[in-house]
Amino acid sequence: MASATTSTGIAGIGQVNWGTHLCQFFHSRSELIDSLVSFYAAGLRNNECCLMGTAAPFYANEVESELAKVVPDIQERIRRKQMSIFDHHDWYVGSRSGDAMAELLAVEERALADGYEGLRCGGNISWITRKDWSAFLDYERRVSRDVRNHRILALCSYDVTRCEGFEVFDVIHSHHFTIAKPTRAWELFEMTSRS
């Protein structure tokens, strides 16, 4: 029987249930790189299919290079499509069907059929603009609602230095858990009422 939890790979966070949608607030590029590399390396070690949408300040070629430091066979995993790295525009904005959430569920179904333990996905949300905020927030709420009964672990990373107060509030309330680094270590904060 498959495990009900999976490791985030992020020091201080540990295991979470499948069907979890996390938001992460980072302060610097190095924090973002360290956490995302750990997150995806754990997924690859756990035989999970991984999708990563990239945006400034951490681009696809850099992701691959950083992952290669801890996952020596990353090229082979990319070739086998266990790890897919793509520009954010190709998923959020340019989804083929116009329904990125439906596409995500289809990827999970294929991943499970191919023998993977589940689907690990996420991206850096630095690209969002104020005019797109409301629609994107609706998407985030849908992810939280729709992944609950699936073998999906989703992590959305937000640059806290670029977020206004209302945006932080919106983000926290559209995810199951928040990961932040208020001191020197990452901490996990659970919402008391999950959306």
Report strand pairing: 83-87 vs 5-7: unpaired
Report strand pairing: 119-124 vs 49-54: parallel
Domain boundaries, the chain: 18-190
Candidates 55, 70, 27; CA nearest to 162 is 27
**Exposed e or buried b per residue across 30-60, where buried means at least 16 C-beta atoms within 10 angstroms of its C-beta:** ebbbbbbbbbbbbbbebebbbbbbbbeebee
Q: What is the pTM of this model?
A: 0.88
**CATH fold for domain 18-190:** Rossmann fold (3.40.50)
Show the DSSP H helices in the chain as ranges.
29-45, 60-68, 74-79, 88, 100-113, 133-146, 165-172
Ordered per-residue pLDDT tens for the chain, 195 residues: 467 999 999 988 999 999 999 999 888 888 989 999 999 999 999 999 999 988 877 778 888 999 999 999 999 999 999 999 987 766 554 444 457 788 889 999 999 999 999 999 998 887 777 887 888 888 889 999 999 999 999 999 888 887 777 778 888 888 899 898 887 788 888 865 444
